[in-house]
Amino acid sequence: MTTLLCITIISLTLAGSAYSQVTPSTLTVTVYADLGANITLPCRLLSKDPMSFGNIGMRVKWTKVADDKALDEDVLLSMGFHKKTYGSFEDRVFLQELDNEDASILITDVAMDDMGKYHCEIISGMEDSMQEIILEVRGGVSDGVVFPYNPRVGRYNLNFHDAVQACVDQNAVVATFDQLFEAWKGGLDWCNAGWLNDGTVQYPITKPRAPCGGSNNGPGLRNYGRLDKKKRYDVFCYASALNGHFYWLVQPDRLTFDEAVQACSDDGAEIAKVGHMYAAWKLEGYDRCDAGWLADGSVRYPISRPRKNCSPTEAAVRSLGFPEKDQKSYGVYCYKAVQ
């Protein structure tokens, strides 16, 4: 028999770590962690079967689950003294084992793509239990930046699953409603609808106009509601503060895309992602009036000080779209992570 543990976590974040208090409820466990912090995902043996021998006799399997079961990821498997971690979790995930009933795991150096739903399966004696934990990776709203994103193929081409992956590919996560709301209050105005992490599709309008929900409607978030996740829209991504160095790579000549990738690699870095540029622009005041390649094949430049010929009316990340990759017309922005 499989039983589902149903409790909720009330979480407080302090000095880069996550703390949690467990209270009975009818909801799944939710745990919050800051990017780069360490976090414990709780899981315990619920009853003491007389045939159980605690940690030594327990089989514990942790899995990160996806909507498509084919995309599930093994995290950790423990059988007595034998323990194994997998993939991106290798050497970052450890079984806590505070007592004989503890099957919790510690995830170190939390990354954005750690966010998601986890299952903890315990087999002990005749007992088989499944517990579900959701990990949210976040910073304070003021510690990150929301940006709209669409891929090379054009606007309104992302179903929800593709939208999640698109943000991860740009060193970001799908934005929450609160994050988009704060960005709107900060002046974000965008007339294309995009996915949020709760499965809704919305867009922020600060300057009401006919093509964007009507000029008679006031400023606000236009909300299409929670939609079929197979439908296609853009996405709003959220990038946290950088844990590395974003920079313009000085080169004697303009580059093709492949040459740009190689130039960053030769400099001991990687070609920067869109999330890197937005974080550097918004959170660090990065300003440069040179169009450069980014990892998704787009060409952009960040302006923090509006001026003639460089976004004269507003601070913004300017995009030249997705040029043909063999054009030797641009420089490149690189990103070097802190080791």
Q: What pLDDT digit, counting tens, does each position of 89-108 carry? A: 998 999 988 888 889 999 98
pLDDT at 115: 83
The pair of structure tokens assigned to 166 is 């698109």
Q: Provide the token pair at 49.
A: 């079967």
Examine the pLDDT at 291 and tell me if it is beyond 80.
Answer: yes
Which one of 3.20.20.150, 3.40.50.300, 3.10.100.10, 3.30.70.890 gives the CATH number of domain 241-337?
Answer: 3.10.100.10
Question: Nearest CA to 46 among 6, 98, 89, 90?
Answer: 6
Q: Domain segments of the chain: what residues? A: 2-138, 141-239, 241-337
Q: How far apart are CA 206 and CA 184, in angstroms?
A: 7
Interval 72-93: pLDDT, tens: 999 999 988 889 999 989 989 9
Q: Is the pLDDT of residue 218 over 70?
A: yes
141-239: CATH topology is Mannose-Binding Protein A; Chain A (3.10.100)
Sequence-ordered list of residues with C-beta below 8 angstroms from that of 90, at least 6 positions apart, any chain? none
At residue 99's C-alpha, the angle toward residues 10 and 123, to 5°, is 90
Q: How confident is the model at residue 143 (pLDDT cuts 50, 70, 90)?
A: confident
Model confidence at 154: pLDDT above 50: yes
Distance CA 76, CA 61 (A): 6
pLDDT at res. 98: 85
Which amino acid appears at position 56 of this protein?
Answer: I
Per the document, the length of the chain is 339
Whether the pLDDT of residue 141 is over 60: the answer is no
pLDDT for 148: 98
How many degrees, rounded to 5, is the angle at CA 87 between CA 101 and CA 273?
125
User: What is the pTM assigned to this prediction?
Assistant: 0.63
